[in-house]
Structure 1
Amino acid sequence: MVQAYVLVQTDAGLAGDLVDRIRGIDGVTRADDVTGPYDVIVHAEAGDIDELGRLVVARIQRLDGIARTLTCPIVQI
């Protein structure tokens, strides 16, 4: 199992709507509006790194209003 934080920048004024849509995506365990350089922080889980990549690229980045994402895999030692 791979877990990651996905930092999301949205188009102006769309964070509230997008966070609700992101919460409905399979593999997303949490999504919150935040302030600062990113608008939404997502916690996601996937079976492996390839599945995580597909989750971010095919499901999150394709939502209208998503400007940019940064995926930060969690390192568990």
Structure 2
Amino acid sequence: MVEAFVLIQTEVGRAEVIAKQLVGLSGVLSSEYVTGPYDVVARVGADTLDELQTAVVPSVQQVAGITRTLTCPIADGVQP
């Protein structure tokens, strides 16, 4: 499985609502609203990088109220 973090900026006051909407999308593993330069951080995954790029990330970007995203593929996970 290929995974990535999607850093999301939203319209003012929409972070919580958008974070809750994202968890219902296929390929979204988790979604949190945060403070700082980004409003929401979602962890997404797919079987292949192509599927991640062509299906999962675009479905996240189409959620109403999202103004900008930055996708950060996970190079290597570290387990405790």
Does the TM-score normalized on the shorter chain lie above 0.5? yes
Q: 3-state SS of the aligned residue for 1:76?
A: coil
Query: Deviations for 1:4-24, whole angstroms, at most 9, x for unmatched residues?
Result: 000000011111110110011
Paired with 1:68 and 1:35, the residues of 2 have a C-alpha distance of 15
The answer as to whether partners of 2:3 and 2:45 remain within 8 angstroms in 1 is: yes
Match of 1:62 in 2: 62
Structure 1 gap segments, 5+ residues each = none
Q: How many residues align?
A: 76
Paired with 1:31 and 1:11, the residues of 2 have a C-alpha distance of 17
Report the alpha carbon displacement of residue 3 of structure 1 after superposing the two structures with TM.
Answer: 0.6
Paired with 2:50 and 2:11, the residues of 1 have a C-alpha distance of 27
Structure 2 gap segments, 5+ residues each = none
Please show how residues 1-77 of structure 1 align to structure 2 within 5 Å: 1-53=1-53, 54-57=55-58, 59-76=59-76
TM-score by structure 2 length? 0.89
Runs of 4+ residues over 4 Å off in structure 1: none
Report the alpha carbon displacement of residue 76 of structure 1 after superposing the two structures with TM.
Answer: 2.0
Give percent identity, aligned residues only. 45
The answer as to whether partners of 2:27 and 2:45 remain within 8 angstroms in 1 is: yes
Q: CA RMSD in A?
A: 1.2
